[in-house]
Structure 1
Amino acid sequence: MTDEQVQKIVEELSIQHFNRPFIHQAYFNSRLKTTGGRYLLNSHHIELNKKMYDHFGMEELRGIILHELCHYHLHLLGRGYKHQDPDFKQLLNQVGAPRFCSRIEEVKKKAASAVHVYHCINCNQLYRRKRKMDVKKYCCSICGGSIELVCN
């Protein structure tokens, strides 16, 4: 889906659900990671997360657009446009927009997922670390003995 198609969808949903035109720009922002979209207060533009459309489809994108249009129209009317405002909550219910979007559970690969296990030679105190440590530089916090690597 292109930005021009998104613009057209936003304009149609604005007329259909709010009976008001959307006269600013709506487009995908590839930098958005944790949110479905955002309404920009200064420019009045709406940015949408392309990953949400790719992952969940048109119905999820439609809900995100309606949510952002609630912010847009309430802000332009000078009414409460923030999430905690009663005007905003009421308008969300009227148009059937979700309060929150679905979450994309991404599998993050950790480079430092290996656990290095060390122990004290004297008292056998165990130390688990994500990063390797220099055993010559550190000593046991319990007895002050030498530390050695058990496994990585």
Structure 2
Amino acid sequence: RPRRVERSQSSWYSGASMDAKSAVSFDDLWTPDQPLPGRAGLLGIAERCGRAWGLAELTGQVRIAYNPRLRTTLGRALLDARRVELNTRLLREHPEELVSLLAHELAHVVVHIRHGRVSPHGAPFRALMRRLGLSPRATHSLPTRHLRRRRRRYLYLHRCGNCSYTFLARRVRRDLHCRACGPDMAWTIVRAPNSLRGRKMLAAFGKGAS
């Protein structure tokens, strides 16, 4: 069965407290002017969240880790695995959001433990966030364009295995027929980036085969 994942792909959590009087303080554990906390620091924050939620054993039921492969996904909760993953790159750029992010993802796990599969940001989730004095909102405006994976485009040089006739295309063509040798010839296909350098590489390969 596929794992249930709550993603924060394009969402973020306001770090501002909703009620300063009821807010749970984490300043004695970690502050944004310090390096990102390690495993012990993350567990300390999680333990304080768990106590506020009446779940003192939370740190024994959930795993927390940084995931350097996350790009625009700020954090995610793998509910069935009870695992929380945090975006290393974005948190290095915006460390002030760490506590809110971790609390948000932990709240997803706690809701799943207590209520099973319910609305991700429903009433139980909002109640947990308010108990910490944090906003339950799930929207953000952090810049992530510079972290998006750029899609590389390629050119494909097709060369007839008999007469070395070449044909250039933006995708692999399986329906090519050599004008001189007919439809049953084998083709050699060479890929190169769709750039000036890539075109020069393919041109040199084509000339070398002729």
TM-score (norm. length: structure 2): 0.44
Q: Does 1:6 align with 2:42?
A: yes
TM-score (norm. length: structure 1): 0.58
- 2:112 partner SS: helix
Of 27, 36, 53, 1:18 maps to: 53
Task: Spell out the pairing of 1:42-121 with structure 2 (5 A cutoff).
Answer: 42-57=80-95, 59-78=96-115, 81-95=118-132, 96-100=134-138, 102=140, 103-107=142-146
Q: Distance in 1 between matches of 2:42 and 2:48?
A: 10
Contact map agreement 2:67 2:87 (CA 8 A) in 1? yes
Q: In the alignment, residue 91 of structure 2 is paired with which amino acid?
A: Y
Q: Distance in 2 between matches of 1:97 and 1:65?
A: 13
Q: Which runs of 4+ in 1 moved over 4 A?
A: 108-112
> CA RMSD for the aligned pairs?
3.0
Deviations 1:73-130 (A, max 9, x none): 1111125653342322343334314433642334379799xxxxxxxxxxxxxxxxxx
Q: In the alignment, residue 85 of structure 2 is paired with which amino acid?
A: E
Q: In the alignment, residue 39 of structure 1 is paired with which amino acid?
A: A
Which of the pair has the greater relative contact order for Cα pairs under 8 Å at 6+ separation? Answer: 2
Of 22, 29, 34, 2:72 maps to: 34
1:139 corresponds to: none
Ranges in structure 2 where 5+ consecutive residues have no aligned partner: 1-35, 153-193, 196-210
- 1:31 partner SS: coil
Contact map agreement 2:53 2:131 (CA 8 A) in 1? no
Ranges in structure 1 where 5+ consecutive residues have no aligned partner: 113-130, 133-152
Residues 1:78 and 1:109: Cα distance change in structure 2 (over 3 Å): closer
Deviations 1:16-49 (A, max 9, x none): x313132221111111112221111221111111
Total equivalences in the alignment = 112
